[in-house]
Chains A and B, each alone.
Chain A
Amino acid sequence: KEAEMDGTQQVSLQVAASFKAFLMKSSSKSNLNLYDHLSRLLMRVIEERPHDVVDVMEDLSHDVKLRLYEDTQSSLQDLQQTTAAEELAEQQKVLFVRPEDAPEHEFELESALPNVSEIAYFLEQAGVGLGREEMQRVFLALKQLVSSYTMQRCRLWGKILGIERSYIIAEAEFAEGEEEDEEGPEEVADEEAREVDAKEKMDPLPQSTYKAPPVVPKEAKGTGANKFVYFVCNEAGLPWTKLPSVTPAQITVARQIRKFFTGRLDAPIVSYPPFPGNEANYLRAQIARISAGTQISPQGFYQAIEEEGAEEEGSSEDGIEENPEYEGVPVGELVDSLSSWVHHTQHILQQGRCTWVNLAVKTEDESNEEEAEEIEEDPDEPEPEVGPPLLTPLSQDAEIFETVPWSSSLSSTLTSQHAIAIMRSNCWPGACAYAYAKKFENIYVGWGLKYPGDGYSPLLPPPPQSEYPSAPEITEDVDPTVEEEQALQDALDEKQAAEEAEEGDSDEEQDEDDD
């Protein structure tokens, strides 16, 4: 019996050995064998003990094979490549370095930099912001900006999202005369254009009779839409770029187009009507429009400066200052009534300026100089456009597309006694303001586009100019048909016959000749 047992054992051992040999047969492609693979796989399961291992067995098996491959490659090392994240980190590191020459404690009372962490705290209550860490980085970047220029005031204006990158925008106010002018290049470009014109006069082409409407002059720095200077950067830590000041033409066109920002300041704006400038100008124009529409403060925070000479409304441009006796409006009142908030940025008129300028007068002057041209339609003095004055309450804002212009809310419904008042603009989605006690702040985070209502309809191109005056000599008639010709012929014949009859018998001979 024992011998029999031995026999079967031997047979089964043999079978097992042959099966093992089969398992250990290495693949002709990968030079791996199943035996080693399974043992590695089981070793890994034993080591890692994953949860529900049977479900992920396939992936584990795949992973084991991949690792094997990686191990054999270990003698070759990856080429070190600096990623964008690393580069950015290097640049942002500068933000966190304290300059060595800085005094131990800075207790300067007058600083252009606002109390940023407090603003970040309130903005978070209001439900807007860029995230805590990002906000901190942005504020450090603001500090860098303040230290590199001498400016009176500087604050975070907001962020405009773009397709490729986004813009972080800072608003700065310079003291008068401290800002250098950079008006040079534009005029040079004009002169170049004139030179080209002169060359063309050698062989004159037909002149266009089109006369461009007079250009509305740009507002001086520090007034109107150019009251503040704006700096942008794509990421906190990257250098700040100063935006050019805005022209009325840019504002007018920006009102008619609807484009996303790309995130590159030098990108061209392809649109109809054509936008005068590149994306930097478009960005600046949108900033001006958003500021004019959405910068609000609780009533009483600012007061009009009472000057002796300023009777006219137009002349009191910057006529507001902080009210030293401002006590703060209760939060409940701020939420309940729109009239407790006022605009503190000037409204931009249809003309694209904050203060209206009479263009008719100017064109007359020019034409006198040039002599040749005379203005035929002597302009009746045009109605000056008047916008709402500064510090107009929000309750007078117009409704757009049957939507109330502002939505107000409290930051907390549970602890409303300590909540802050929040205003969101429905006209410019993304614009937000908060107020609490004596403090308030405006911020904009969005795509930089106005609420479109039912949809945007692009401006149609003007009708084509007529080539020549329409008159009977140059209009083409329809060719007469055979019947019409026949009819005409008959009519003529009849007429002739009648005439002949009238003339009587005397001409009979002639008749015969005619026939």
Chain B
Amino acid sequence: MDANSLSYSLELVAGSGCILNTEQRAALQTSLIILKKNYKFNRVLFWGKILGLKEHYFIAQGRRDDELKDTQHFYSFNCIDWFLIPTTTTEMIEDVSKTAKGRFEGDPSFVYESRQAERLDPSVEESTTKVTEETRLAVTVHHINEDASVVPRGAFINSTHGVVQINRSFGGLSNTQAGKLENFLHFAQPKNLKKKSLLEMADLNPALDFLDPLSEDIPKGSWSLQFESANKVCVIRSLLWLGLTFYHVPMTPLHGFIYIGYGTKNLDLPFML
């Protein structure tokens, strides 16, 4: 959610149970402006919070010209001092998937270890993989962005130069549109779009429909769409990443998402529907 409308936006997603207290809100308002200035961002978003056992990671996202690719993430414990989260590589993702288990500790230098004996080849000795919690944090944030960041259709434009920018003339979805999952898109590099047939592509507007819609996610029903706050706000919750809440006030350009959760994927989803 945009740092400029933080307080209002937080009220809209409060239905999920997590709110920030006044001290944290005030601190964020101050520190995010400084963050924006220091890193020369176009805008700064409050991304969310990952709850650790000892401390909680507050996470902010900075965006430059390209809203989709040109982003950086930061974490903080006190909402004032922000530390850069490293960019993820495929190696990091692999290592983290092998080692990291359970809850976040709340200490970025905490080391996860895993020993893996090669079953097929007994001559190879046990290999140990070590991963710090900072790496895990980076990978988790990356996964959540890939799987669960949501924007309403039309809020962003893919310009002719291939740069993704805010659509200034986006006036919000209508009430009927907001009730349908097709009108919400994954804000990440599309995966299924190129596989579509020409017939399906015919109706799409290349400037607006450059992302995958939520309705095509597998398994079906991995999103929960509701109207909250006296039926005025459209709220979408991810059931795959419990804690991710997206909000959009129909007929206004106001939208955004926040993640407040444990940073673990809900792998039991198929059993739970």
Contacts and interface: CB of A to CB of B under 8 A. Distances in A.
Interface in B28-58: 51, 53-54
Contacts, number: 115
A274 B91 CA distance: 43
Contacts of B101: 454
A85 B271 contact: no
B230 A258 contact: no
A127 B78 contact: no
B217 to A, nearest CB: 14
Contact of A163 (B20, B221, B227, B271): B221
B199 interface: no
B266 to A, nearest CB: 9
A404 interface: yes
A89 B230 contact: yes
Contacts of A130: 14-15, 17
B128 interface: no
B103 A447 contact: no
B21 interface: yes
B53 A404 contact: yes
Interface string A205-245: 00000000000000000000000000000010000000000
Interface string B52-78: 011000000000000000000000001
Given A56-B169, A124-B21, A133-B11, A164 B16 contact: no
B94 interface: no
Contacts of B90: none
B239 A164 contact: no
Contacts of B169: 56, 59-60, 63
A291 to B, nearest CB: 17
A132 B25 CA distance: 15
A92 interface: yes
B262 A131 contact: no
B17 A56 contact: no
Contacts of B273: 163, 260
Contact of B268 (A83, A134, A161, A258): A258
B21 A126 contact: yes
A403 B54 CA distance: 11
Contacts of B129: none
A446 interface: yes
B93 interface: no
Contact of A258 (B10, B51, B229, B271): B271
Contacts of B21: 124-127, 411-412
B20 to A, nearest CB: 6
A413 B175 CA distance: 42
B116 interface: no
B231 interface: yes
Nearest to B169: A59
A158 to B, nearest CB: 8
B224 interface: yes
A246 to B, nearest CB: 21
B193 interface: no
B102 A259 contact: no
A56 B231 contact: no
Which size bracket describes the interface of A in this complex? 35 or more
Most chain A CB neighbours (cut-off 10 Å) among B23, B24, B230:
B230
Nearest to B179: A84
* Residue with the greatest number of chain B CB neighbours at <10 A, chosen from A83, A128, A131: A131
Interface residues of B, number: 42
Given A403-B53, A455-B267, A129 B231 contact: no
A83 B11 contact: no
Given A164-B224, A258-B272, A453 B14 contact: no
A33 B22 CA distance: 57
Contacts of A88: 230-231
B229 A161 contact: no
Interface string B176-193: 000000000000000000
Given A124-B19, A127-B19, A258-B268, A429 B168 contact: no
A63 B237 CA distance: 33
B246 to A, nearest CB: 14
Contacts of B78: 413
Interface string B222-245: 001011111110000101001000
B18 interface: yes
Contacts of B228: 134
Given A85-B230, A133-B229, A407-B54, A455 B268 contact: yes
Contact of A447 (B11, B221, B242, B271): B242
B227 A84 contact: yes
A375 B11 CA distance: 62
A131 B229 contact: yes
Nearest to B79: A413
Nearest to B227: A84
A401 interface: yes
A446 B17 contact: yes
Contacts of A128: 17-19
A129 B237 contact: no
Contact of A129 (B14, B24, B102, B168): B14
A143 B22 CA distance: 27
Contacts of A164: 224, 226
A314 interface: no
A401 B23 contact: no
B180 to A, nearest CB: 15
Given A131-B14, A404-B53, A429-B262, A163 B19 contact: no
Given A130-B17, A132-B11, A134-B15, A165 B226 contact: yes
B112 to A, nearest CB: 12
Contacts of B272: 258-260, 449
B268 A129 contact: no
Contact of B16 (A161, A258, A403, A424): A161
Contact of A260 (B17, B168, B226, B239): B239
Q: Among A127, A129, A401, which residue has the most Cβ atoms of chain B within 10 A?
A: A127
Contacts of A251: none
Given A83-B175, A125-B21, A445 B16 contact: yes
B232 A129 contact: no
Which 7 pairs show the lowest CB-CB distances between chains A and B? A445-B17, A131-B14, A85-B231, A59-B169, A456-B268, A163-B224, A131-B11
10 contacts: A127-B24, A131-B11, A131-B12, A161-B237, A163-B221, A412-B21, A413-B78, A414-B23, A445-B18, A456-B268
Given A130-B17, A162-B224, 9 more contacts: A63-B169, A84-B231, A89-B231, A127-B24, A129-B17, A258-B272, A412-B21, A429-B262, A445-B16
Interface of B: 10-12, 14-24, 51, 53-54, 78, 101-103, 168-169, 175, 221, 224, 226-232, 237, 239, 242, 262, 267-268, 271-273
